[in-house]
Amino acid sequence: MRAQGVLTKEPKFDKDIANRFGLFRKKFISTNQTEAAKELGFTQGWLSQIESAKRSVDFKLTKVLIEKYNLNTEWLTTGTGTWTSAPIKAQGGLLGKSIKELTQAIETLEGKLATLERTVLISQANETFFINRMEKFIEQQQKFIADQQK
């Protein structure tokens, strides 16, 4: 049996990111959540949880959005910039490549690194939000326990 005053709801994730994800989905993937879920390889319920900020936009989804739809993760995390970014070029093997090809490979890797860094920012934003919610939860639990001991 749960004691009165104990939080039973899961923490919410960043609503701004969730809202921007929903806008992106409607503009670039499908206005229909079920169709978008099928296109992305996820379930409709999973997308619904993301758009309602009950689940974070995780690395797997971010990777799909970048690769398939050229998502600009800076826009997703902060709202700045354009919705999409310049395409990232695929990298092949490096042996027997010219200086020009190697330079292009380096530029591609730099682009992928930038994408990874933006993806980490998304994870950190969600982690910070979750930690703040847990700290509030712990404070409420401590207050509840103190009130019960009075």
pLDDT in tens, 5-19: 443 444 456 888 999
Give dist(CA 116, CA 67) in Å, integer.
12
pLDDT value, residue 105: 77
- The pTM of the full predicted model, rounded to 2 decimals, is 0.52
Burial level of 103, CB count in 10 A (0-12/13-18/19+)?
exposed
Residue 128 pLDDT level (bands cut at 50, 70, 90): confident
Low-confidence winner among 24-33, 46-55, 99-108, 121-130 (lowest mean pLDDT): 99-108
* Size (the chain), residues: 150
Rounded mean pLDDT, 75-95: 68
CB hemisphere CA count around 11 (13 angstroms): 16
φ/ψ of 84, rounded to 5, equals -120, 160
- pLDDT of 78 > 70? The answer is yes
Q: Angle at the Cα of 36 (from 81 to 15), degrees rounded to 5?
A: 50
| 88 or 45, greater pLDDT | 45
| 22 or 126, greater pLDDT | 22
- pLDDT of 97 > 80? The answer is no
Torsion-angle region of 128 (φ positive above 0: left; ψ -120 to 50: alpha; else: beta):
alpha
